[in-house]
Amino acid sequence: MARDRRANEETNDDRDRAHGVAGDRGGPYGLATAAHARRQGIETLVLGEPMSFWRENMPAKMMLRSGPDWHMDVAGEHTMMAFLAERGVDPADVAPIPISLFLEYADWFRERAGVAVEPDLVEDLVKTNGRFEATLRSGRLGRGMPGRSWRNTRPSLDR
């Protein structure tokens, strides 16, 4: 696989720029982490389709063991209770939480928290000069933070 890389070229601009965090196929914890990092001033990007594993693999009638007091927001602002209140839903009516409502909450949370999404996936991940570099399926290149990995990358099976 041929790639254009800035091999061994690191300018002062590269070293001084604040690098962000990227996650592949954001699930609940990935979205929560991205929202928290963003709130701390760290640029974030979720690659792929958020909650895709849940949407594609969980039974349509599944109920979560968690109650409406569970949520993704560390800051306690974009909670499941806030989501339910905005929709006029009594929390007692959704305990346990149906998967469909959980997925609606995840979308609502992502939008409210301002989590950026790019519909692309990590194809390859290498560490070059102390920095992680990801090749996306689209062929684009992403550079990561020194010493940090991009979690939950899905390896390609069609090389």
Rounded average pLDDT over 25-53: 88
Secondary structure (3-state) at 107: helix
Please count the structural domains in the chain: 1
Q: Whole domain around residue 75: which residue ranges? A: 21-146
Give CB contacts under 8 A, 24+ apart, made by 41-46: 42/18, 43/18, 43/19, 44/20, 44/115, 44/116, 45/20, 45/21, 45/116, 45/117, 45/118, 46/22, 46/110, 46/115, 46/116, 46/117, 46/118
We report the CATH number of the domain holding residue 135 as 3.50.50.60
141 domain residue, yes or no: yes
How confident is the model over 126-136, as pLDDT tens digits?
Answer: 888 877 788 88
Q: What percent of the chain has pLDDT over 90?
A: 43
In the predicted model, is pLDDT for residue 143 greater than 80? no
Rounded average pLDDT over 47-69: 93
pLDDT at residue 127, as a whole number: 83
**pTM score:** 0.74
pLDDT at residue 148, as a whole number: 42
